[in-house]
Chains A and B, each alone.
Chain A
Amino acid sequence: MAATVKYDEVEVGQEIPAADYPVRRINLVMYAGASGDFNQIHWNERFAKTVGLPDVIAHGMFTMAQAGRFVTDWAGDPGAVVDYGVRFSSMVVVPDDDEGTVITVSGVVEEKLEDKRVVVALTAKCADSRVLSKARALVQLS
């Protein structure tokens, strides 16, 4: 395992530039198939509305995966992410059109720990709402 980011070159408070991750219905269908989560709220608008949702919503795990991708892309080696947790604070509503929606993820180095590990605090937003809270990744740097 070898992160491309060096511990000594990282400072607390350092920001990791935001990245946009577009989400369309096709992405949710692919995620349902790959993950095995076929809950209808993630692909069936009729069903989603009968259970009180505004429209089809993304799998929480899909959103978590996007923020995870943000960290692994930063670290260089996905194996450097040794602990990753989130709370799902708001829904990602995905309309059935060509644009879908966008999840924007940004991060900040919150803490430097022993053994060249750092805590990255993540912010994920969609349509002006924070869709993840308490999102933290522990990353093993070089």
Chain B
Amino acid sequence: MALNRDFIGRASAPSAPYEVSRVKIKEFASAIGDNNPIYRDREAALAAGHPDVIAPPTFPIVFSLGGGALLADPELGLNFAMVVHGEQRFEYRRPIHAGDELVTVSTVTDIRSVGRNEFITVKSDVTTVDGELVCTTYNTIVERGGAG
């Protein structure tokens, strides 16, 4: 089923603040097999000039997973069983570190058909609770056969 084009331009409500913890960063780093001490050891992070342990570049996927509520809206018509990831980008103002409290606002920027597949792009601005922009993510997912 084709995705509902009325969703282009639609934005999510700001997320509840996500509190970045040392434990979660360490768990994520372990899951990607990365032993970098700057993800685990506060002293190593301080020595590298960071206020605390920082998160790997792809960490925001943990709390900005495609703009969750927008994609899950039944009105959009997305069949999750047929979804694969198309493109992903993270644009940083500064690294995310433990102790950050982050709010995400996601916006559907594009929906298009390519062959038999549907492509939907979601841009997410990640800011601190004080309004400092930390990171912008761009997530394109593909619904296989959605346009067929």
Contacts and interface: CB of A to CB of B under 8 A. Distances in A.
A101 B32 CA distance: 15
Nearest to A51: B81
11 contacts: A2-B48, A34-B28, A35-B61, A69-B33, A71-B57, A77-B48, A78-B38, A78-B57, A79-B50, A87-B87, A88-B86
A123 B89 CA distance: 16
Given A51-B82, A52-B144, A84-B57, 18 more contacts: A21-B33, A27-B31, A51-B144, A61-B61, A65-B34, A73-B36, A78-B39, A79-B50, A79-B54, A82-B91, A83-B90, A85-B91, A86-B88, A87-B87, A88-B85, A88-B86, A134-B87, A137-B57
Contact of B58 (A68, A82, A87, A91): A68
A59 interface: yes
A33 interface: yes
Contacts of A60: 84-85, 88
A77 B38 contact: yes
Interface of A: 1-2, 21, 27, 30-31, 33-37, 39, 41, 51-52, 59-62, 64-66, 68-69, 71-73, 77-79, 81-88, 91, 134, 137
B27 to A, nearest CB: 5
Contacts, number: 118
B22 to A, nearest CB: 14
Interface of B: 24, 27-28, 30-34, 36, 38-39, 48-50, 54, 56-58, 61-62, 65, 80-92, 94-95, 138, 144
A62 B38 contact: no
A79 B93 CA distance: 10
Find the residue from B27, B32, B144 having the highest chain A CB count within 10 A.
B32
Contacts of A84: 57-58, 89-90
B48 A85 contact: no
A63 to B, nearest CB: 9
Contact of B65 (A21, A37, A68, A137): A37
